[in-house]
Amino acid sequence: MKRSDVVRLLLYLVVLAAMAAYPVRKILQFEWPSEMTELFRFKVNLYDPYDPVRGRFVRLSFGRLEFKCDQPTSWDAKINRPGGSVVYAVLDRRKDGTAFVTKLTDTPVPGSAVLKVRCRWRGRDYNPKTKRCSGKWSYLYDYPFDRFYLNEKLAPEAEKLLRSAKRGTEAELLVRIYPDGSFCVDDLQIDKRSIRDVLRSRQEKSEKK
């Protein structure tokens, strides 16, 4: 074995260790979090696209995500550039347990659950009815989660289920929020039941018939 190949082999082992380290760290972070995580429920709508590489998944839609405040902040000058800006959304719960954003900041707030979101527009809040700008400032942002993976039979069924569901049927995304602003999607629930269970029970019923 040539001396240069020995050096290459050692370097290669270091690179392999680095390549494995990232996913291992992620798995450990998600399975055994070192700090307390909080579970939040987000109201969602879903539809079912198809991607040849990623397979089946349901696309999550949260409607127009807008945050309003009285004063523009000092950090938001970069928001209106192409690509927007990543900021921290401070989360809280409504009375019904669903999550909402109380504040947008450029740094994590200690003691509060924060989520990294991409803020893509900032401007004066415009009221189309009065055709005037209110005194407030409006920030448009996107949540970092926009899909939930399901198998190829369940994904189209999920969309059909919500379309044919009775009024008042609600889909909620359960997201585990980590102290550094990262997240992991736990489950997608329909009327507080996991979507997988709901769909499987529907499938079993239809097979029995």
Partner 1 sequence: MSEECKYWSWLERKLPKLVAEGLLPQDSAEQIKLRCEAEQSDGNNTLPGYFLPTLAAGGGTLIAGGLVLLVSYNWDMLPKITRIVLAALPLLLGACCGIYTLLRGRGQAWREGSAVLTAGGCATLIGLISQIYHTGGELSEFLFLVIALSIALLYIFDSGALALLLTLGLFPCFGGNYGADRSWMELVLYLAFLPFFLHHIRGRVAGTGYYRYLTMLYLAAGLFAFYAAGGGLISLSAGALVLLTGIRLGTQEQTEPRSPRHNPFPVAGFLLLTGLLAAASSSPQFFRVRIHENFTVSIVFWGLIVFDFLLVWLRGLRRGMAIWELDGLLFLLMTVNALVFFLDAEEMQFAANLYLAIAGAGLIFAAFRKKRMRFFNAGMILFFTLAACRFFDNKLPILPRALGFIVLGLGLIGGNILLYRRKHAGKEVAI
Instruction: Name the segment binding partner 1 (CB under 8 A); options: 107-115, 123-131, 160-168, 178-186.
Output: 178-186
Q: How far is the CB of 78 from partner 1 (least distance, A)?
A: 7
The CA–CA distances, whole Å, from 61 to 5, 42, 139 equal 52, 10, 18
Task: Please pick, from the candidates 3, 18, 164, 208, the single residue that binds partner 1 as defined by CB under 8 A.
Answer: 18
Element of type H or E holding 39:
strand 38-47
Residues 106-145, interacting with partner 1 (CB under 8 A): 144-145
Task: Closer to partner 1 by CB, 59 or 103: give it.
Answer: 59
Asked if 75 is part of the footprint of partner 1 (rule: CB under 8 A), the reply reads no
If you write DSSP's letter for every residue of 59-74 in order, what string do you get? Answer: EEE----EEEESS--T
The CA–CA distances, whole Å, from 191 to 58, 73, 137, 171 equal 17, 38, 35, 7
Q: Where are the beta strands (DSSP E) in 80-156?
A: 85-93, 99-105, 114-127, 132-142, 147-149
What's the CA gap between 142 and 104, in Å, rounded? 12
Asked if 59 is part of the footprint of partner 1 (rule: CB under 8 A), the reply reads no
- Dihedral sign of CA atoms 119, 120, 124, 128 in order: negative
Task: Closer to partner 1 by CB, 126 or 149: give it.
Answer: 149
Task: Closer to partner 1 by CB, 5 or 191: give it.
Answer: 5
Asked if 62 is part of the footprint of partner 1 (rule: CB under 8 A), the reply reads no
Task: Closer to partner 1 by CB, 55 or 123: give it.
Answer: 55
- Contact residues toward partner 1 (CB under 8 A) are 1-2, 5, 8-9, 11-12, 14-16, 18-20, 22-23, 26-27, 30, 52-56, 78, 81-85, 144-154, 182-185
